[in-house]
Amino acid sequence: MHKTLVLTLSGRDRPGLLEQVAVVVSGHGGSFADSRMVAVGGRIAGLQLVNLPEHGVPALLAGLRELAASLSDFAVDVADGAERVAPGARLTLELIGHDRPGIVREVTEVLARHGVSIEELETRCVPGSFAGGEMFEARARLHLPPGLPGERLRSLLAALAQEMMVDITLEDSHP
């Protein structure tokens, strides 16, 4: 019997960190089925979906605890990964506009109000070319709840984009 776990890693970034985690996972018969990691400002956060034989779970957990204890400023959390993704359309949102406080709050407020989950979000500020000042860019993968048509969300975000004076586009996405 196999088990699926979700590992959440966070801490100070350092070379070889993922390799150390991979040694522990593979050493207990596990494999990475899906993984996301990002380093920002000297910190790293990651999510790994790990499959392994059920009998290897206790030893894997002990190995991960030992690894976390041996590294300063690093933590590993483990959760059951058996939960399946709910049905619903997926869209990719792209936003660009002059940077100002509140952009993420205003967009996420609309999404939350309509039951839209954010599966992935990346934001950054880049130098503006002609207008000067910084431009804010965001890219998100969205999971719409059943019953919310993509066209309805497009019209809600188009109204918000006009109010905020930013460009927002939504495209069909694949899981």
Mean pLDDT confidence for 152-162: 96
> pLDDT tens, 39-73?
999 999 999 999 999 999 999 999 999 998 888 88
Is the pLDDT score of 9 beyond 70? Answer: yes
Nearest to 9 by CA among 67, 81, 53, 94: 67
Query: How far apart, in whole angstroms, are the C-alpha atoms of residue 52 and residue 26?
Result: 9
Q: Are residues 62 and 104 in the same domain?
A: no
φ, ψ (nearest 5 deg) of residue 31: -140, 150
**What is the pLDDT at residue 107?**
97
Across residues 78-88, what is the average pLDDT?
A: 75
Claim to verify: residue 46 and residue 106 sit in the same structural domain: no
What pLDDT shows up at residue 75?
A: 86
Same domain flag for 160 and 131: yes
- Between the alpha carbon of residue 77 and those of residues 46, 80, 155, the distances in Å are 10, 10, 39
The answer, yes or no, to whether residue 175 has pLDDT greater than 60, is no
Helix (H) or strand (E) holding 46: strand 43-53
For the chain, the domain total comes to: 2
Are residues 76 and 97 both part of a single domain? Answer: no
User: Which region among 67-76, 116-125, 138-147 has the lowest average model confidence (pLDDT)?
Assistant: 67-76
Task: Check residue 85 and give its pLDDT.
Answer: 66
Q: Are residues 40 and 108 in the same domain?
A: no
Q: What is the mean pLDDT of the chain?
A: 91
Instruction: Pick the last residue of a domain from 80, 104, 119.
Output: 80
Give the pLDDT confidence score for residue 1 in this predicted structure: 87
**The pLDDT of residue 88:** 83
Q: What pLDDT shows up at residue 167?
A: 96
55 and 99 together in one domain: no
| Distance, CA of 109 to CA of 115 (rounded, Å) | 10
Q: Are residues 37 and 100 in the same domain?
A: no
For residue 89, pLDDT over 70 is answered with: yes
Calpha distance 165→152 (Å, rounded): 20
Q: Is residue 14 part of a domain?
A: yes
Domain that holds residue 51: 2-80
Q: Which of 62, 80, 98 is the last residue of a domain?
A: 80
> How many CB atoms are located within 10 Å of the residue 144 CB?
20
Query: Which pLDDT value is given to residue 84?
Result: 66
Do 117 and 165 reside in the same domain of the chain?
yes
Identify the domain boundary among 24, 51, 80.
80
The residue that leads in pLDDT, 87 or 21, is 21
Helix runs in the chain, H state only: 17-27, 57-70, 103-113, 150-164
For position 139, which CATH number holds?
3.30.70.260
